[in-house]
Structure 1
Amino acid sequence: MTLFITLLRKAFIGSVLSLLGLVAHLPFAVAGDYKDIWWNASQSGMGFNLSQVGNTVFGAWYFYADSGQPTFLTFSGEIQNNRLSGALYRNTGPAPSANYDASRVQSAAVGNAVMVFSANDPHVARFEYAFEGKTGAIDLQRFSFVDNAPSLNKDFDGMVYGINTSSGIPANFNFSLGSGKFKLTREITTGSCVFEGTYVPQSEAVSARGSYRCTDLSAGTFVAPRLRVTTEGVYVGQIIKTSSAGQLATETHAGMSLVSLAVLDFTGKTIRVSGSSSECSNKEFRASYVLQINATTLTFTGSDSTITDSNAADPNFCRNGPSVYEFHSIAALRAEEPSDPFLQCLPKCNVATFNQTWTGVDPDGRTYRGTFQHTPGTQVIYHTKQVLQDPRQPGKTSFSLGSQIWMVE
């Protein structure tokens, strides 16, 4: 993973974590997201609809009155230490009609309510009420009307926080869920962990528990209170681990699915390429050019070559090669470099194309290793090329030709 891509990924995932209120070193439910439908499964016909902005919640409690008629009370307030308290209001007004008169809507305080959200399980709450001579308490959970596990059955590329460091580590998350069985493989550069057990649907999320084992020989049990995919296609969640020695640790995950981003369509796009050469001693050197892509053709304007500057004191000091304008058939370019995945997929490329390494032979007869890295959510592609063997330089093997940053417009 290049430093450039790691920084972009950290910036993107960091913004996602801050928006969702997830931080690696705090308990899961801090600044939690409680907007949902809540109910008690043994008291069907009654429930709560919560809307949330920041730590402020507005709720509607709907139930049947003593008369058997449907009714509702509303409440609102700010969550402090997982606790929300406020007045209960009864609301009256006119029926829907073409002459609806909003001035007839009235709200009157009729009692008080307290809602306490579990600090350990973001799917559990307790509602206590007192109004019009009635008092009581209701244990609640999020209402689930569909198993949302299929949204997790993908590969997610992102960051994991809370593993022997205060900063995030690039990671891949692979899920396999179905029929109540749960499996997650989390891979980082130094090894992997497999979490296996059972799950239950929890509104738009799932909660899971079971055991884990890692390639570093650590093992134990885990609880994952709330794993989900946001409407933007971002996987977020936390896993609370208890090692076989009884030590607690929490991992915070965030990642994006390449599948969810589907296809990059380059038709009619301009790609501005800025490239550095590893053979140049001037580290700020940039050779730049522009690609313009249509359905069957590609035009090249600029220079992708370097020339040693004979006027410089340093013999490895470079300058741009001559600028040219070239018009190519994409089919002809494919024939010249059959191993290049970018040329082979044009003009529409699956995002997975830009996160791989391949080996090929370029038109100059050099065997090389190429890499593409695309950061989800951006228009940036990072490309490197390393020559493994050059017939014109038989004594020189495995040398880098530098790197390029592609900006898609």
Structure 2
Amino acid sequence: MGPAGGRVRSPLRRPGPAGPSRFRGGEHACVGPRTAGSPPWSRPQRARTALLGLHRRPPQRTDGPAAAAYAALRAAQSALADAEGTVRVAQAQLADTLAATPQENAAVARAAEEVESARAKAHAAATAVRAAQRTAADRVGAVEVAAAKLDAERTHNAADDVKLVEAAERHDKAVRAQEAAQEALLEAHESRDTAENLLAAAEEQLAQARAVPPRESAAVVAAREKVAKAERARDLAEERVAAARASYDRAAALESGQDAPAASAPSFASLPTFVDRYVLPNWRHRHDRDTRWCERWWLHEEAVTRLEALWEAFEAMRLEPAPSLSTWLRDHFDHHMSMLTRVDGTFAGCSPRTHDEPVHRAGAVWAHTEPPAGLFDVDPESVVQPQSHQQGGVA
């Protein structure tokens, strides 16, 4: 971490003769502001406006290498404009396809129907339990009444066998009805417990269905592939425009007897701009327990070093002919972002829910012993010198 209020500085960045490296930011920003209504799937507006808008003045001669290079540049710019139009059409078609696609997940809908059905059955089972409880209570009362009548007959009409038998039969019948009501009540309780278990299982299935990202329809997938294909064609067109512009600048300079033009300004004005406008929109992996990221990445020295190296490689390779962008993605972007977002990487202590300052503190540097003097050659002109040679630390 750099000093308070200052910028993090990599010790491997050598200042240029006119100030700090251009990769620390500058006044040349080729990236326009992001429009408020841009769709979420669109890639960041990088240097497209500059690539189309920086028209070179035509050469004075109508023949020769400069004229041919100028014609190639105009053709490349026209192809880039067409590619931009194709991207916008593909994005509009994707928006229409998304709008016409049902947003409800079929699996979630089925699980919700199962929950509603299970909830209705559980309600019916609970109602049946309450009815069985009332019936069982009535049967208990009927047994008590029959028992009282039987006792009365035995006391007052002991000699009347017919009435005693009738009273005993009514009592036995009431007891059997009570037993049947108790069995029905037990069955109602069991049915209610089963219905409640089925409802809980259905609710769990619904929660799991909602946790799974919905599968997109074939039409949406095809529309997204069309957008991606158009964006790849646009990226290739951008590279060709950059290469054609550089070729024309060289040819025009040679034709006029001037020195070759200096290198073009970077596409992104600063490292945070590069991360915000290009890295993060193109690295939309799922953030889960196997990955880590920190919103305040600039507090981590390793992250600053890797992202700066990534930016520097991008600015250099974007001017190269195809397939330089693909090579940059494979050899630089995928590598550095995979290392940064590892669960045991520099963001291991960071979490979207936990952002206390202590988690941003870098771990201790691994122990090491400085080799004996003279074992390795030392370049006295280098910026970073061995500890034994430094007087005031690394500049």
TM-score by length of 2: 0.17
Larger strand fraction of residues? 1
- Going by fraction, where is helix more abundant, 1 or 2? 2
Structure with bigger RCO (C-alpha 8 Å, 6+ apart): 2
TM-score normalised to structure 1 length = 0.17
